[in-house]
């Protein structure tokens, strides 16, 4: 893993679980979920496509690995692409705060 990738994953951890965020309880300590969809041929998904999810929403009974991606998507009415989109928006907001960037 490169230094930049490691920094990126640290930022994801700092955001906290993106699904808890959607449910109105942001800041839950998160693990890093790597979506597998669309990577194909044994390719590892990029760290930049990773999504922060708390242990429950990652691998618990109501989690993406616990329920399976299909059931998870249906249950929360959002798929991995949607969660990634929100993750990136939150990352952007975090960077704006840190560096005073304007969107
Ligand atoms: Zn969560």
Residues around the ion ligand 1 (C-beta < 5 A)? 17, 19-20, 28, 54, 57
User: E strands, the chain, where?
Assistant: 31-33, 51-53
Q: What is the pLDDT of residues 71-101, one digit of tens each?
A: 999 999 999 999 999 999 999 887 676 666 5
Q: What is the pLDDT of residues 25-82, one digit of tens each?
A: 999 999 999 987 555 555 566 889 999 999 999 999 999 999 999 999 999 999 999 9
Ligand 1 midpoint to CA 26 (Å): 8
- Which pTM value belongs to this model? 0.84
Count of Cβ atoms closer than 10 Å to residue 68 Cβ? 11
Ligand 1 midpoint to CA 31 (Å): 9
Ligand 1 midpoint to CA 99 (Å): 27
> Do 88 and 82 form a contact (C-beta atoms < 8 A)?
no
């Amino acid at each position: 893993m490169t230094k930049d990738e490691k920094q990126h994953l640290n930022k994801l951890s700092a955001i906290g679980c993106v699904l808890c965020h959607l449910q109105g309880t942001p800041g839950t300590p998160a693990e890093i979920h790597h979506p597998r969809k669309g990577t194909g041929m044994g390719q590892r998904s990029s760290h930049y496509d990773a999504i922060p999810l708390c242990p429950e929403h990652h691998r618990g009974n109501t989690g993406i690995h616990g329920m399976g991606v299909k059931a998870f998507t249906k249950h929360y009415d959002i798929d991995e692409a949607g969660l990634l989109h929100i993750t990136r928006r939150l990352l952007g907001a975090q960077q704006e705060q840190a560096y005073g960037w304007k969107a």
